[in-house]
Amino acid sequence: MKKLISNPLTTEVAADIRTATNDSIEKLKPFHVSLTDKEKIGVRTMAEGREGVVRLLCKIALQHTDSLPRNEDPQEMVTLLKSYEDGGQSLQAEKQLTEMLEDTQTATGIDLMALYDRYNKHLQAARTGNTALDAAMREMDEYNSRFGGSGGNEDTPPTS
């Protein structure tokens, strides 16, 4: 299998991503609402299919404010719709970042396991004539005996 990672993620870039993410978390805190699982049960929320009808009703309410009670202000709905839109755009950016990081981590793991298999094969072959290497590889033998791995390509994950 060909190597997937030609340009590994650097410590500096990873630190920048963490810092930017943590800064975003801090910026969101004043607006964040945490709902328990119990609070989420049985409530109506504006799902994708409902956003259009909510926006339509908002436009109608803005045009016909005289038909609303005096204590109702459709600008409240305008503000929440804008917040919903802005939050959705931020969520999409976060999803894109998450997918990029997950794919990069997976590819890095694939490359690491390919290197592991290659290096293990070479070291296993060389250990017969090298007592220091044989002693060092005993820790690998112990790991493989405890976790059921042979150190090679495993088609099935270890069971617990």
Q: Is residue 87 predicted with pLDDT exceeding 50? A: yes
Q: Which residues of 89-125 are buried (b: 16+ CB within 10 A; e: fewer)?
A: eeeeeeeeeeeeeeeeeeeeeebeeeeeeeebeebbe
Enter the pTM of the model.
0.75
Quote the percentage of the chain above a pLDDT of 70: 92
Q: CB atoms < 10 A from the CB of 74, how many?
A: 17
pLDDT in tens, 103-137: 999 999 999 999 999 999 999 999 998 999 999 99
* Burial of 84 per CB tally in 10 Å (0-12, 13-18, 19+): middle
Give the three-state DSSP class for 2. coil
Tens of pLDDT, residues 57-78: 999 999 999 999 999 999 999 9
Rg of the chain in Å (alpha carbons): 28
Domain assignments of the chain as residue spans, ordered by start: 48-147
131: left (phi over 0), alpha (psi -120 to 50) or beta: alpha
At 155, the pLDDT band (50, 70, 90 cuts) reads very low
Average pLDDT over residues 35-52: 91
Query: Poorest-confidence range of 1-5, 22-26, 148-152?
Result: 148-152
Residue 46 has pLDDT above 70, yes or no: yes
**What is the model's pLDDT at position 151?**
54
pLDDT of residue 153: 52
Inform me whether the pLDDT recorded for 85 exceeds 90.
Answer: yes
pLDDT confidence of residue 102: 98
